[in-house]
Structure 1
Amino acid sequence: MVYANKWNDKTIVNTKTPKNKQQQFILTDDEIITLANWAKLIEDHYQKPMDIEWAKDGITNTLFITQARPETVHQMRDKNIHIEYKLLEKGTILSQGNAVGSKIKVGKACFLKSPKNAGSLAPNTIIVTDTITPDWDPLLKQVTGIVTNKGGRTSHAAIVARELGVPAIVGCRNATTTITNGETITISCSQGKTGYIYQGELAFKEEKIDFSNIKMPATEVKMILADPENAFSLSFYPNNGVGLLRMEFIITHNVKVHPMALVNFDQVKNTSVKKEIEKITKNYANKHDYFVETLSQGIATIAATFYPKEVIVRLSDFKTNEYANLIGGKYFEPKEENPMLGFRGASRYYNNLYKAGFALECEAIKKVREHMGLTNLKVMIPFCRTLEEGKKVVATMAENGLKQNENGLEIYTMVEIPSNVILAEKFAEIFDGFSIGSNDLTQLTLGIDRDSELMGKLFDENNEAAKKMIKMAIQSARKTQTKIGLCGQAPSDFPEFAAFLVNEGIDSISFNPDALLQGIENINKAENSLKIENEANDFIFYK
């Protein structure tokens, strides 16, 4: 939208945005940092959250603050009350876009080109339109939801939706063609930054959680996370940080391309695959920069959200068949009969088949810690089979700029192989901390493929042998004064398992978000029981 190309003509005309402008960043890094500093100064001055608007002069390229007013959407909310929306079934996705809010709503799609065509709207109406301008505002107070083809997170539709508390999905591009006027649809803004429009009425639940009534236990309670889009909302849950950040999700959903296909692009033989990679990486001078930038942003989103609490990122732990599914991956992955026990985890990082790819992982983490200043990020090595392998990985990380203890860098390892337990005291000489992966440890202790439908009933973390391995690991960690935690579902599913861990003196337990509150309850019960037992023993000893 620009002035007409005539001298002294103030007429506004719409022109198609040229490709080079579409692919150009709107602001430089320095300009973004300047705006961030100004925003911080303004909020410090007023001592409250502020809604700030800015502009950039198109001729002088000068930045201006045009307005600052108290933020009204979030400040009146009780920070201890969290309302969680969750879909209970899957459905056909009609369209998707930028989610505004976190609600789920069901209603009838009503196509409108202008608010003048509205007439009377039913209470369950979801407006579906191309774009929304200020003259729509009175109408938006009457609707259940808003869907637009155009607009981003800062569009007028998004701003008004936030102020009214109405869920909106904006920037869908094709909503008016994939949705039928008058049909029942479900709009979900509960799944992170991306909002989804589903066909028909899907079942969902709405749960109000009062965090003020939750007492945190002495044992640290951490979260298991993978999706950066959900990090901000989940950070308000009671927690002591992130015990496991799964890097694989970010690589699969955000990066999408196999790192070795970026390092050795010429070895990708398929023309269509090469074109796909070229398209994804078109705005980057070097293809490996795309991997580093995308991965670092995903990790940093979670590290920043939970700062200054510790966030432990596990380095990539794909199996070869999973790596092969990435774009260009099949050209760089060996075929294995049993990928679960094959070329995975630590073994990949110093091997020439993946060493260059691992260097990109290290570069991304270094960028998060050093360039972005998120030193609360710690690193964890998965599936480290031997002591020699542990030393090799630590040395390889140092070669790539991640030196243990430099700038406070701590390197953990997963305890998920019997060798990790048997030689735990020696592994403690190499690593700064342990995290028990109860799924793999149980699998390898009992000799059961946990993915097997036939053997599934025998897989049990409460099995005496599996629990003995965990107990040995905790005892070795306590003896060497090494921090140790556990990541897994069992402490939330089984109160007796939580009690077992608490009694053994584990430092922390990490839960998936949907199991966190039940896990806290189980740990509190276990700690209370242990306290009563200790008091009784003290009384008997005193008598």
Structure 2
Amino acid sequence: MEVLIKKFSEVSITDVPKVGGKNASLGEMYNQLASKGVQVPDGFATTAEAFWSFLKENNLKQALIDLLKKLDRKTYSNLSEIALKARELILEGEFSEKFSREIIKTYRDLGKSDELEVAVRSSATAEDLPQASFAGQHDTFLNIHGDEALLKAVKKCFSSLYTDRAIKYREDQGFKHEEVALSVGVQKMVRSDKGCSGVGFTLEPESGFKDIIHLSGVWGLGENIVQGTINPDEFYVFKPTLEQGKNAIVQKKLGHKEKMMVYAESDGHSSTVNIDTDLKKQDIFVLSDVEVLKLATWALAIEKHYEKPMDIEWAKDGISNELFITQARPETVHYSKKTSTHIEYNLTGKSEVLASGNAIGTQIATGTARLLDSPREAGKLKKGDILITDTTSPDWDPLLKRVAGVVTNRGGRTSHAAIVARELGVPAVVGCNFATQNIDDGTEITISCSQGKTGYVYKGILEYEETAVDFSSVKQPETEVKFILSDPENAYQLSFYPNNGIGLLRMEFIITHIVKVHPMALVRFDELEDKRARKIITELTEQYTKKEDYFIEQLAEGIATMAAAFYPKEVILRMSDFKTNEYANLIGGSQFEPKEENPMLGFRGASRYYNDLYKAGFELECDAVKKVREEMGLTNVKVMVPFCRTVEEGKKVVEIMAENGLVQNENGLEIYMMVEIPSNVILLEEFAQVFNGFSIGSNDLTQLSLGIDRDSELIASLFDENNKAPKSMIAQAIEKANKVGKKIGLCGQAPSDFPHFASFLVKAGINSISFNPDALLQGIENINKAEAKNVGSVS
């Protein structure tokens, strides 16, 4: 018996050959995940059988085959012409009375009326290729209502099997056009035009880090995300602590969202218009934290059900305020890459920065900048050029396969340009704002996505290095190998390296580059005299009830990103260690910092934490750490006290931390101390009664052992970690720590630069050595050699 329509309640994932991947997935979720709380709008799907019957009844199958034979398969110069004729053939066809009747009946049953608003979506399928993905190749029509409008939308979906991009996609993939059918999904409309919508990945989309759920959203319809019309809000949720019921949002980024797409209705047909977003809505997140966590929980349930990373679409109805999942498909870019080989890109040249935006991928590319306004200018683009444009849509797909890289004015990490760039393995810098104004057509440029989440476009062809590293061949030594890190942007990518966590996480970078404001300028804002600083701080803290909350949240997110990337490995966070001259450079900082002749030996480290000049600022640091550990659940974060001069000072700091909610040994909180002053070595056994462990700061210990100000250029040549004096101090510290059973590590460059220094540390009995990222692999090699030989001298 001919089956022309299947209700979602009758559809499962096994029905891909009948209703396509999109509709099969919707039916599967509708039936299997409702018990997990996942809400999917109800609907129905026309079948592949219905499509074949339509072609047969209108004598279209052979006509389409004959038409496609005329396609220029070398240059595709007549692609648009052929595609248009194919669509016209289908649109001129007539539905059978039976098919039309069944569509109308099922539609009216769905809404109990003939005026239900529905989304009409294409879902292509191939009988003998049930796993083929045709995502993004065909058309969707939103806010359709009424019998006649629905029938027209279904036929338009049929015809979209022959859009330019769909034909080119099948040609590239080797699919026979006559073997691919089109199923149409008709689904209750979610009024996101009055609410918000977006997309999500159940992994971090740039690195493929599997424990992050990445959500992005805009006001109104989600097409603005896909088209890259605006920069969306972004949310990063950490799966392990989400499952523990914690507030697992480790990072939020507020997008500009200057436009929102809404419906412009006409006789039941859908058309859309982009309107200016209300200024107040631009400055608030599209989702509350509760809603982010709900969506993330659903995304995780979907991933577990399908047993693979997923790419989802979501929408919030602005009338009912309900959230829905409107689509889910397997994520293919990272899931298909199961290799332990990593290519490192390192830019060695320097030049003027022409533009910057969101980095997509981690590569570097060079080439000729080619500015295009639309795909119709394809003739200007040569293979290997770098495309510079305002934004891209699926119509650009045939062109994007020629390029070495992509740069757009608009768009976020989930825009069309970003998604396609990942799939093609080419670097892209999206959301640059003024790229088309700052980059001249025909000039040579370099685009770099190797410097974290921010991508850069440089003037000229710059030199860069590529290094292939097979992590599976790297042997982990017995001595723990950890990172010295400061920048959260690189955390997820670096987590794939062989490591035992982070031995030194510098808080200063997060404060300088993300927070930017001196904490006391927030605490005592009413006393701030600098008018310019007051204006900047007012703008930065506009979304916060208390200005101090800005510092706490921004610092917490930076720390949490690092902690999530390396979870459950230990992440040792050094509390702030700015010198007074460095603190003064923060926004509003000069008013709250004393002027010192030698800041290196002055008011720094532990001495600040209990002093009235900074005590309230340290309280904010503690609040941020407490938020990370307790609210977000990242208890792998340990804290470390820098430049602690006396045992009594150490006790004071531990006490003030407890007063601020960081109680030593409670909930696994360990408090470490930097060993960087001779007094730390001499009295280490007494310090061991206060702290849980130690990390040797070889730079400060060397300067204070040799009496060298390492900021002084005049005597910089005398600074040497290999000198007997600092090495003797290091050896003593290790010996004493081992004697009292406390962990001790070292943070510094020497073990990677000098194999004999690694041997010295291993022989002395060091527990861990921390390296900067560019020195980690060499450091591992040096430690392995040292352990194999088990030689070295402590003298």
**TM-score clears 0.5:** yes
Contact preservation (8 Å) 1:50, 1:68: yes
In 1, Cα distance between the equivalents of 2:288 and 2:543? 14
1:448 paired to 2:712: no
User: Can you list the C-alpha shifts for 1:449-490, whole angstroms capped at 9, x where unaligned?
Assistant: 122222122111111111110011001101100000000000
How far apart are the structure 2 equivalents of 1:443 and 1:532?
24
Matches of 2:680 and 2:339 in 1, distance apart? 42
Q: How many residues align?
A: 533
Q: Deviations over 1:414-458 (max 9, x none)?
A: 000000000000000000000000000000000011222221221
- Gapped regions of structure 1 (runs ≥ 5): 534-543
Displacement after TM superposition at 1:90 (Å):
2.1
Q: Match for residue 640 of structure 2?
A: 380
- Output one character per residue of 1:99-123: Cα deviation in whole Å (capped at 9) or x when no partner: 1101000111111110011215222
Q: Which residue of 2 aligns with 1:460?
A: 720
Paired residue type of 1:373: G
Which structure 2 residue ranges, 5 or more long, are not aligned? 1-260
Distance 1:208 1:418 in 2: 42
1:363 has 2:623 as partner: yes
- 1 CA distance for matches of 2:530 and 2:634? 39
* Secondary structure of the corresponding residue to residue 725 of structure 2: helix
Distance in 1 (CA, whole Å) between partners of 2:280 and 2:410 is 20
Deviation at residue 399 of structure 1 after TM alignment? 0.6
Counterpart contact for 2:688–2:740, Cα < 8 Å: yes
Alignment of 1:58-207 (within 5 A): 58-119=318-379, 121-207=381-467
Identity, % of aligned positions:
69
Bigger drift between 80-89 and 70-79 goes to 70-79
The separation in 2 between residues aligned to 1:351 and 1:495, in whole angstroms, is 42
Counterpart contact for 2:364–2:427, Cα < 8 Å: yes
Question: Could you say which residue in structure 2 is the equivalent of 1:411?
Answer: 671
Residues 1:528 and 2:788 aligned together: yes
Q: Higher mean Cα deviation, 195-204 or 47-56?
A: 47-56
Residue number in structure 2 paired with 1:241: 501
- Structure 1 residue 303 corresponds to structure 2 residue 303: no
| 1:539 corresponds to | none
Return the offset for 1:172: 0.6
Q: Which residue of 1 aligns with 2:489?
A: 229
Distance 1:272 1:70 in 2: 49
Matched, 1:290 2:550: yes
Alpha-carbon separation, structure 2, partners of 1:264 and 1:376? 32
Letter paired with 1:40: L
What letter corresponds to residue 517 of structure 1 in structure 2?
Answer: L
Alignment partner of 1:277: what SS? helix
| Deviation of 1:9 (Å) | 7.5
Matched, 1:401 2:661: yes
Question: In structure 2, what is the Cα distance between the partners aligned to 1:291 and 1:7?
Answer: 52
Match of 1:537 in 2: none
User: What is the identity, as a one-letter code, of the residue corresponding to 2:638?
Assistant: K
Tell me, what secondary structure is at the counterpart of 1:207? strand
Distance in 1 between residues matched to 2:367 and 2:383, nearest whole Å: 9
Counterpart Cα distance in 2 of 1:63 and 1:163: 29
Aligned with residue 732 of structure 2, among 434, 448, 472? 472
Q: Contact (CA 8 Å) 1:3, 1:9: kept in 2 or not?
A: no
Cα distance in 2, alignment partners of residues 243 and 377 from structure 1:
11
- Report what 1:538 is aligned to: none
- In the other structure, the counterpart of 2:608 is 348
On the 8 A contact 1:95/1:178 being kept in 2, the answer is: yes
> How do residues 256-335 of structure 1 correspond to structure 2 at under 5 angstroms?
256-335=516-595
Q: Give the residue type in structure 1 aligned to 2:491.
A: A
2:694 corresponds in structure 1 to 434
2:218 alignment counterpart: none
**Alignment deviations for residues 287-326 of structure 1 (CA, whole Å, 9 cap, x no partner):** 1000000000000000001000000000000000000000
Greater shift in the superposed pair: 450-459 or 297-306: 450-459
Q: 1:57 aligns with which of 317, 324, 330?
A: 317
CA contact (8 A) 2:370 2:380 kept: no
Q: Is the 8 A contact 1:267 1:331 kept in 2?
A: no
1:250 and 1:298 in contact (8 A); partners too? yes
- What letter is aligned with 1:492? S
SS of match in other structure, 2:790: helix
The answer (yes or no) to whether the contact 1:313–1:379 under 8 Å persists in 2 is yes
- Once residues 597 and 718 of structure 2 are traced to their aligned partners in structure 1, the CA distance between those partners, rounded to angstroms, is 23
Secondary structure of the corresponding residue to residue 362 of structure 1? helix
